[in-house]
Amino acid sequence: MLTIENFSATYRQNGRPLPGATNIAFSLAAGENLGIIGESGCGKTTLALGIMGLLPEATISGRVLLNGRELTTMTERELRRIRWRQIAMVFQNSLEVLNPVITLGEQLTEPLTTHLELTAGEAKERVTEMLAATGLDPKWMTAFPHQISGGMRQRALIAMALACRPELLIIDEPTTSLDPENRRLVLDLLEDLQSSMGFAMILISHNLPAIRLLTGRLLTMYGGRIIEEGNTSEVLRHPLHPYTRGLINAAPEFFPYKDLWGIPGDPPEPGLITGCGFTPRCCQAGAACTQEPPELSEQGKGRWVACHKGGIETVLSAEGLVKNYFLGKEKIKALKGVDLHVRRGEVVALVGKSGSGKSTFAQVLSRAIAADSGMVRFLGKPVYTRQATAMIGGIQLVFQDPGEAVSHRLTVRDAVREPLDIISFKGKNEREQKIKEALTAMHLPTSEAFLRSTCHGLSGGQRQRVAIARALVMEPTLLVADEITAMLDPSTQAVILRELKGLQHQRGFSMLFISHNLHLARKIADRVYVLDEGYIVEEGAAFEVFAGQIDSPSRQMVAIIKN
Amino acid sequence: MEMKATEQNRRRFFDYLFTLFIVVSLNFALPRLMPGDPFLYLSGDHGEEIARFSTDQIDAYRHQYGLDKPWPAQYAASLFALLRGDLGYSIYYNKEVSTILLNRLPWTLLLVLSAVFFSTVIGCLLGSLSASFRGKALDRLLYPLMIAVAEIPAFLLGLMLLFFLAAGLRLFPLSGAMTHFAGTAGFWHTFVDIAHHAFLPVLTLTMVRTGAMYLLARNAMTTVLARDYVRTARAKGLSTARILARHSLRNAMVPIVTRVFLSLGGLVGGAILVENVFAYPGLGRLMRESVLVHDYPMIQGIFLLVTGAVLSANFLADCIYRRLDPRIGLSTEVQP
């Protein structure tokens, strides 16, 4: 029904072109629901207004086809007949979206008298009908917009948009400014109205639960471009673009217990960046990313992403890991074929009871012990040696007991410098500088006195910080944190965890957080694996696993932490 | 929180009454603070300070007008007189002040109302045009032109018109409101005569005011056209005429109408310069004459009238404003 090809809208500001939307292409079938998400200013509303031909101040290129008719070349007079009759819009709810000096009744009936040439009486009847359908008492028709509440105004806006029974309804942020109850009611209302009236819908929203409830397909927009497209539930569960993932991770509805972290940095000034606009904020940007903007490319059926790296890279993949121990002649199966993937910039929690095989898994990853079978890949390359842990940008591990992990005889300086010494990193001064950076990052002093003190004089918390700093000097791409806070008091644990998550967020490394503490995992994880008796019994996006939406034996586990 | 509308109106009315009282008091005090004495000029020509009266005669006049009493007594007497509707007796013109005012007021009203009407209509029209073609050639031409026009002082413009059109080309009479003894020539003839005389003063006042009205209308319309509700109206596919007239102008009229009513009061006094340039027999000219000869009762009468005009215009503007914008005050009752 609606096809958009190569659509671009460019504003002008102080004589400088300011792209509002660039190379937008998608199509929408009759009755289909499409969601559009993205930060403020990413071009969502520009696109919506562009479809309706309501951007007189912008230069438009490309095509907008409605049932085969080209809209961008139509005269204003022709467009006027399309507007509201075929494409209607529920504008973002604000005090000024309705005319303050005209009654609701007149504002609701005027499209009917204009487009359907109804008499005043017929129009009023139709509006009364629509208001009843949207749950607003028709007595409010004599009221002025400022006399009704935000929720009522939202209903009036919906009634107004649907009055002419359009084929396509564009809805801009229907739930912002509504309280949770009204939000729910408005979403249910839209769902009901759509099933009875059968219009297609483009839903623009920051509210991901609304998107998940109402739409089947999802576009993510950034800097005026579509950067990801796919089936809504697949995109939300398994985003391919780091930006989409950042949007999802910032949604409190999805992560009621996790600390919220927005996408670091700000969107680029439109028109100023040559390469991929997300490069300065991305956890996996490379040299190619600054050259030219990436095109959408298909990654699996119906999934499209605009990324030079083909979407979020997989940092670590463990496939079919098996490890057996022998206690005398008895064979203890610690890992019975574990598959696990960690992607760029994400925090994956591996949770399980004591003895479920978590630590064995960590040791296999670091090649401290060898697996009996299975394969570990780091950045796509198989790991056979300990090379991956002995390089800048490799894998680093931090363990539960800092007292054992860091020799108490070493000075702080030596302890942190040791991994650099092992790989013979550059010169003495560079190493010294990296030590100080890492210590500062972990909020430790860098005074000579502290650097010279030996580790056994430090508190448990400080010692764990030294251990983390020791991992950070290697600028790991993947940090494996194995029960790192289990021996700390709750306050120190909270402080260290927040600091570590902050560093992870800022530097964009990936983290595999191994813990038996589900409460902690829930505070920090984007994705979760549950390990039980050597098997992965459950895996998925944290908001799904912890919401208990996936049926599996470990739901009991989730039930336990819920009590 | 919300007061009943009637309660609000009553309160506003008393506010205005109190203001009026203050003004009346000031009106009493101000002429008495001026240097000089009315009897010095009783029969002198303007500006000539010739004492024609003996001390005894002056004392007699003072007694006659009650000016020999102490100030508080004069104040009380003037307040009571005012309550009776008695504005006093003009010392210079030798007539009831109210009679003189009633003779002069229509001429000023003629000038002011015509000027307000023409300047508002022209200003709004040009302003709306400018706003809808903002940044286009028409706007770029009108905008600086109107600013320039708005900046010309009224008396200068009046003098120029008088010099070129009346004195030079002899198209219009030089002074007065109508030809003497022309009242017998029939209604139509009188009408044309009055319009002929009023043309230049009205033109001057209109030109001076049109600039401001244009700027106000352009600004109001520009603001309104950028509003979300105008975008909503456009999205609804309404006709351009309906969007402009019903959705935009209706909102832009709020500040414009308020300004028109507010300025009505000020204009009664604002015509002084123009009336003097064209020797037009309105209140402005009367005021100048009275001030020159220290005619206290006359000056007080004029000031009182002007004050009353300003205050009632304000009151009217207040009421109209509430009518035009349902978001303010009164409308809270409209709910079904």
Q: Looking at chain B from residue 242 to 261, which residues have their Cβ under 8 Å from any Cβ of chain A?
A: 242, 246-247, 250-251, 254
Judged by phi (left if over 0) then psi (alpha if -120 to 50, else beta), residue B294 lies in: left
Parallel, antiparallel or unpaired: strands A535-541 and A527-532: antiparallel
Q: pLDDT digit string (tens) for A90-123?
A: 998 888 899 998 999 999 999 999 998 888 899 9
Report the residue of A52, A92, A99 to disrupt the B interface, i.e. the one with the largest count of B CBs within 10 Å. Answer: A99
A177/A186 Cα distance (integer angstroms): 12
A89 touches chain B (CB under 8 A): yes
The SS3 of residue A23 is strand
Question: Taking 80 as the threshold, does the pLDDT of residue A436 lie above it?
Answer: yes
Question: Taking 80 as the threshold, does the pLDDT of residue B327 lie above it?
Answer: no
**In what helix (H) or strand (E) does residue A169 lie, and over which residues does it extend?**
strand A168-172
The SS3 of residue A540 is strand
Inter-chain residue contact B250 with A97, CB threshold 8 Å: no
A111 → closest Cβ in B236, B331, B335 = B236
Closest CA to A61 of A75, A45, A72: A72
DSSP letter, residue A454: B
A12-22 mean pLDDT: 86
Terminal Cα-to-Cα distance of chain B (whole angstroms): 19
Smallest CA–CA separation between B126 and chain A, in Å? 22
Alpha-carbon distance values, B151 to A133, A488, B157, B260 (Å): 58, 78, 10, 19
Write down the pLDDT at residue A28: 94
Smallest CA–CA separation between A361 and chain B, in Å? 58
Write down the pLDDT at residue B20: 84
Write down the pLDDT at residue B331: 40
Smallest CA–CA separation between A145 and chain B, in Å? 9
Inter-chain residue contact A96 with B227, CB threshold 8 Å: yes
3-state secondary structure B106-124: HHHHHHHHHHHHHHHHHHH
Residue A481 main-chain phi, psi, to 5 deg: -110, 105
Question: Taking 50 as the threshold, does the pLDDT of residue B265 lie above it?
Answer: yes
- The highest-confidence range among A447-451, B41-45, B54-58, B190-194, by mean pLDDT, is A447-451
Chain A nearest-CA residue for B135: A57
Could you tell me the pLDDT band of residue A557, with boundaries at 50, 70 and 90?
low
Judged by phi (left if over 0) then psi (alpha if -120 to 50, else beta), residue A209 lies in: alpha
Report the residue of B229, B249, B330 to disrupt the A interface, i.e. the one with the largest count of A CBs within 10 Å. Answer: B229
Inter-chain residue contact B335 with A83, CB threshold 8 Å: no
Mean pLDDT check: name the lowest of A80-84, A477-481, B305-309: B305-309
Mean pLDDT check: name the lowest of A31-40, B57-66, B162-171: B57-66
% of chain B exceeding 70 in pLDDT: 85
Question: Taking 90 as the threshold, does the pLDDT of residue A202 lie above it?
Answer: yes
Inter-chain residue contact A99 with B251, CB threshold 8 Å: yes
Contact list in B for residue A149 (CB cut-off 8 A) is none
Smallest CA–CA separation between A545 and chain B, in Å? 43
Q: Per-residue DSSP letters for A175-191?
A: STTS-HHHHHHHHHHHH
Question: Which residues on adjacent β-strands are paired with residue A350?
Answer: A514, A529
The SS3 of residue A465 is helix
Smallest CA–CA separation between A114 and chain B, in Å? 7
DSSP letter, residue A296: P
Sequence-distant (≥ 6) Cβ neighbours of residue A346 within 8 angstroms: A245, A312, A510, A511, A526, A527
CB B197 within 8 A of CB B178: yes
Q: List % helix, strand, coil for chain A (3-state, nearest 5).
A: 35, 25, 40
Parallel, antiparallel or unpaired: strands A200-204 and A33-37: parallel
Domains of chain B with CATH codes: 106-293 (1.10.3720.10)
Write down the pLDDT at residue A34: 96
Closest CA to A247 of A260, A256, A259: A260
Neighbours of A322 (CB within 10 A): 16
A91 touches chain B (CB under 8 A): yes
Contact list in A for residue B234 (CB cut-off 8 A) is 54, 83
Closest CA to A154 of A115, A199, A118, A205: A205
Mean pLDDT check: name the lowest of A550-559, B36-45, B85-94, B95-104: A550-559
Chain A nearest-CA residue for B323: A101
A101 touches chain B (CB under 8 A): yes
Mean pLDDT check: name the lowest of A187-196, A255-264, B138-147: A255-264
**How large is the ipTM?**
0.79
B144/B146 Cα distance (integer angstroms): 6
Write down the pLDDT at residue A500: 92
pTM for the full predicted model: 0.78
Closest CA to A533 of A507, A514, A553, A511: A553
Write down the pLDDT at residue A5: 93
Sequence-distant (≥ 6) Cβ neighbours of residue A432 within 8 angstroms: A417
Judged by phi (left if over 0) then psi (alpha if -120 to 50, else beta), residue A376 lies in: beta
Higher pLDDT, A368 or B122: B122
Closest CA to B142 of B161, B160, B122: B122
Inter-chain residue contact A100 with B238, CB threshold 8 Å: no
Terminal Cα-to-Cα distance of chain A (whole angstroms): 50
Write down the pLDDT at residue A559: 53
Contact list in B for residue A160 (CB cut-off 8 A) is 236
A187/A173 Cα distance (integer angstroms): 11
Inter-chain residue contact B334 with A91, CB threshold 8 Å: no
